[in-house]
Amino acid sequence: MRYGEGIYLFGDSDFLVIRFIENPGMAFGFEFGGIAGKLALSVFRLLASGAIVCALWKLVKTKAPKGLITCVALILAGAVGNILDSMFYGLMFDKGEGVVSYSGLAKLTEFGSGYAPFLQGNVVDMISFSIFPPIFNIADAAISVGVIWIILFQRKYFPKEEKQIEVEEESLDSDVTEEFTAEVE
């Protein structure tokens, strides 16, 4: 596909379009400024992915709910997918007919002679819905679904915290009642 070209999955309707674009920033096209911002984003992605791996390992070892483990695994998979794109895509492809945007086909080049150095490449985004303006990729969708699912089912995934709070509140209530009763007698 040429840059910006789309495949309309429902005839002429733009409800769902597979469109080739490159995203130099974060999910849904959000960017930090320049090379320093891109490097900061790449370092953040790497550190966050390491932390997610540790969290996932701990969840598996403690036999956390399978739904929570699945959500964290989705978030990790999406993060790793975007990291791999930013690490290697710029090393493997040139920009065709331009530097920032182009109208031609991106061309596979000799590894290391692409348009961007290590960790400076763009992420390929391709999914576009008419009801949701940003163009995103499967990695972004995996991260979003994982986070939203955790938020929706947080009471199911983290029940001990709520029960502990209830037990502490009951304990405080009974302590106050006992003190009040002792003072009245």
The yes-or-no verdict on residue 180 having pLDDT over 60 is no
The catalytic position among 12, 125, 173, 175 is 125
What is the model's pLDDT at position 103? 58
**pLDDT digits over 40-85, tens only?**
888 888 999 999 999 999 999 999 999 999 999 999 999 999 899 8
Residues 148 and 163 in one domain: no
Same domain, 172 and 96: no
Both 90 and 46 in one domain: the answer is yes
Residue 91 lies in a domain: yes
Count the Cβ atoms, other than its own, within 10 Å of residue 121: 24
Same domain? For 71 and 146 the reply is: yes
Domain, as residue range, for 178 = 159-185
Do residue 97 and residue 145 come from a single domain? yes
The number of domains in the chain is 2
In a domain, 168, yes or no: yes
Of 26-40, 72-86, 103-117, 171-185, which one has max mean pLDDT? Answer: 72-86
Residues 85 and 32 in one domain: yes
Q: Which of 94, 140, 173, 175 is catalytic?
A: 140
Same domain? 84 vs 166: no
Q: What integer pLDDT is reported at residue 16 of this predicted model?
A: 93
**pLDDT confidence of residue 167:** 56
pTM of the predicted model, to two decimals?
Answer: 0.75
Query: For the chain, what percent of residues have pLDDT higher than 70?
Result: 76
For residue 182, pLDDT beyond 70: no
Contacts of 22 (CB under 8 A, 6+ apart): 3, 89, 122, 123, 124, 125
For residue 69, the tally of other CB atoms under 10 A from its CB is: 16
Let me know if 139 is exposed, middle or buried by CB neighbors in 10 A (0-12, 13-18, 19+): buried
* pLDDT > 90 in the chain, percent: 37
Lowest mean pLDDT among 24-28, 158-162, 172-176: 172-176
125 is catalytic: yes
Q: Is 14 among the residues known to form the active site?
A: no
